[in-house]
Structure 1
Amino acid sequence: MKSRSFKAPGKALLCGEYAVLRGAPAMCVALNCRAQVTVSKRTETVSIVSTLGFAEGSWRFKIIDESVAWLDQPPEGVRSLLDAACKKTRLTSCCPAALTIDTLAFYSPRDKKKLGLGSSSATTVALVAALQKQSFDIENIWANSKMVHKAFQNGRGSGIDIATSCFGGLITYTSCDTAPPTKTTWPTGLYYQFFYSGIEADTIAAIDRAAGVSEKSWNMLIEHARDAAIAWGSGNVEEILDAMEQYTVSLRKLDLLYGLNIFGAGHQDLVDLAKTTSLIYKPCGSGGGDIGVALSKTKKDIQDFSQYARMKGFMPLDLEIDNNGVIPTIGEKV
């Protein structure tokens, strides 16, 4: 086996978080920070995985009876990912191998904290692509990546992050869909800026907290998630901003009612400021840290808002929409 190397983008969940776990549509966008995984055959009898970004280091392992037998003690994240990949991909047939996992783009250059841009899903997709058979089959990559990531997260999550890393661009996603997600063109005249709160969120803990919300309490959020998806599909900027505001209000009500801390880590301060302007701000994904997004009809509003966000300790991120999903690096063929 020659060396194979693939890159997959990160993501930001624009709306539909939490509601997507109850069957509502969600909007997610791929961003131009990428995880890269390279797999090459080794002549030695022992395989090795090396990481850049997350828990930097190298750890040796063997495949015994189609299971990973670790010769070193890797961090739990590395261990869990490769254990899941061994069960769901061609890892066994590729070994002994050298794997390099590079997620440096997902960490803050300021303090090396994880930004919350979907590094685990991007890594999973890039890894599955690098381990697949020679022909590039995006739907096969998507199906296997969903299985690996679900095992990696002990069954939690909707799969929207995996779909975004696979297909790229702006997507509408429903967890019960078996067909690839619908891709939508980013609306002309809608400006955006993503901000990092400086605090790492715990997505798994947030999902577990939300499990205590009564079924009836989800109804309004689900309704507004559907309205938002329709608005994004229309491409009408006014309708999108109105729908995003309604969704954010519903999300905040649920947050306050059940103490989910979605708007913690300073996000509520930026939401309050946005109410005094013509733009919309909301946390992305599980909230309680990580990132948020500002949306506006004017670039100047975004620029002015960014200055205030910096004063509150938020870092504007130099990120753009990535319309490509998982792709091979130079030298690979699709």
Structure 2
Amino acid sequence: MVRVSAPGKVMISGEYVVLEGAPALVAAAPARARVTLAARPTRTSDGSPPDPGRSPDAQPLPPEALLARTCAESVFGPLTRDMDLAIDTSALRHQGNGEGSRKLGLGSSAAAAAGTVAAVAAANGLDVSNPTVRARLLPIALDGHRAVAPEGSGADVAASTLGGFVRVRRDGEHLDAARIDWPASLHLALVWTGTPARTSDLVAKVKSLAARDATAYQRAITPLREAAATLLAAIERGDARGAIDAAAAHHDAMQLLGETAGAPIVTPELTKAAMIAHSIGGSAKPSGAGGGDVAIAFLPSESAIAELGDACRIAGLALLPLRLGDDGVRVDEPLD
């Protein structure tokens, strides 16, 4: 048996513009997908042959994991014996009060693809914690993830594979990805809005705007491109105040894009999170496509995080206890 985990992701800057080749920044979140490869039993509990398209508990396996396994075995070689694949992404979900689990938008499919590729690599004897090996895993995980996100940026897969804070830039089918250092003077917090969102719906509306009115699209996307570049540059030079101001501009630019495209990118809950962060000397913006899910707050101090938490509770929002920059894919239990 081999057990591997892969982190979720949180977008920090560059939403939407990353799809047209602009740089973006993404972080690995400590909520992790768990991937297990284990020797397949000859029969299931009811005496029937096992289905390789399902996990041992009879749940259908996600298509990104199935394709990622095929891609990984084509590169690293087939596994020496039949092994079942099991995926657990429950840590990437938020348990509601009697309402079942809700997706947080932390990239569960990307983590599943990255974790599956890492599991196959580990089963073939590779050290998946080695940065050089992780760089080899990334394009394979991207190939697997295309089963569910053929036009995605790949930023989420990069975070799940490499870990830390990752600067990405998409160039056609190729993704440039490299880890960067995070400035100690800039503090992050995640605010859960209580509302899950479908990224594909929002992206489709933005693409529709670009197709039907190129001029309006450029008027809306240009401020976002500029704000994202300013935010990334401030982070890379360690300018906390500059990053806080740029994140506020990033929020406003995402709102303009949504209004122009007729897409609810910045919801009332995301606006509320931004206003609360501003009131304590910080700023906040949607993380990811928007429409709900998570806001990311940029704050000048650790104490401001506690203030943000208190204010969010009063406003009906919640802080997520996730410290960003987690490790990339890793083996959690060595091969037996």
Assess same fold via TM > 0.5.
yes
Q: What amino acid is aligned across from residue 35 of structure 1 in structure 2?
A: A
Q: Which deviates more from structure 2 when the two are superposed, residues 241-250 or residues 90-99?
A: 90-99
Q: Does 1:115 align with 2:110?
A: no
Q: Deviations over 1:37-58 (max 9, x none)?
A: 0101224178xxxxxxxxxxxx
Name the SS of the counterpart of 1:319 in structure 2.
Answer: coil
Aligned equivalents of 2:280, 2:261: Cα separation in 1: 28
Q: What amino acid is aligned across from residue 117 of structure 2 in structure 1?
A: V
Quote the residue 1:15 is aligned against. 13
Quote the residue 2:34 is aligned against. 36
Quote the residue 1:300 is aligned against. 303
Counterpart mapping for 1:171-210 below 5 A: 171-176=166-171, 178=174, 181-210=177-206
Change (3 A) 1:180 1:103: same
Change (3 A) 1:69 1:243: closer
Percent pairwise identity: 26
Q: Does 1:84 align with 2:95?
A: no
Q: Is the 8 A contact 1:84 1:152 kept in 2?
A: no
Q: Is the 8 A contact 2:65 2:116 kept in 1?
A: no
Q: What amino acid is aligned across from residue 18 of structure 1 in structure 2?
A: Y
Q: Does 1:166 align with 2:161?
A: yes
Quote the residue 2:88 is aligned against. 102
Quote the residue 1:274 is aligned against. 277
Q: Which segments of structure 1 move beyond 6 Å, counting only runs of 4 or more?
A: none
Q: Deviations over 1:70-90 (max 9, x none)?
A: 9x9855xx3423442354232
Partner residue of 2:147 out of 147, 151, 170: 151
Q: CA deviation at 1:311?
A: 2.3
Q: Deviations over 1:261-298 (max 9, x none)?
A: 11116111222333434110111001111111111112
Instruction: State TM-score, norm by structure 1.
Output: 0.84
Instruction: State TM-score, norm by structure 2.
Output: 0.84
Aligned equivalents of 1:37, 1:248: Cα separation in 2: 35
Partner residue of 1:135 out of 118, 121, 126: 126
Name the SS of the counterpart of 2:183 in structure 1.
Answer: coil
Q: Deviations over 1:185-219 (max 9, x none)?
A: 22112122111111111112222122123352322
Aligned equivalents of 1:182, 1:82: Cα separation in 2: 24
Aligned equivalents of 1:190, 1:69: Cα separation in 2: 44
Q: Is the 8 A contact 1:265 1:288 kept in 2?
A: no
Quote the residue 1:61 is aligned against. 51
Q: Is the 8 A contact 1:122 1:165 kept in 2?
A: yes
Quote the residue 2:130 is aligned against. none
Aligned equivalents of 1:29, 1:86: Cα separation in 2: 24
Change (3 A) 1:15 1:179: closer
Q: Does 1:322 align with 2:325?
A: yes
Change (3 A) 1:186 1:269: same
Aligned equivalents of 2:319, 2:249: Cα separation in 1: 24
Q: Is the 8 A contact 1:173 1:182 kept in 2?
A: yes
Aligned equivalents of 1:265, 1:161: Cα separation in 2: 25
Q: Is the 8 A contact 2:191 2:273 kept in 1?
A: no
Q: CA deviation at 1:182?
A: 2.5
Q: Is the 8 A contact 1:200 1:290 kept in 2?
A: yes
Quote the residue 1:262 is aligned against. 265
Q: What amino acid is aligned across from residue 22 of structure 2 in structure 1?
A: A
Gaps of 5+ in 2: 128-132
The two structures, once aligned, show a CA RMSD in angstroms of: 2.8
Quote the residue 2:314 is aligned against. 311
Q: CA deviation at 1:179?
A: 6.7
Aligned equivalents of 1:305, 1:162: Cα separation in 2: 30
Count of matched residue positions in the alignment of Structure 1 and Structure 2:
312
Change (3 A) 1:279 1:38: same
Name the SS of the counterpart of 2:266 in structure 1.
Answer: coil
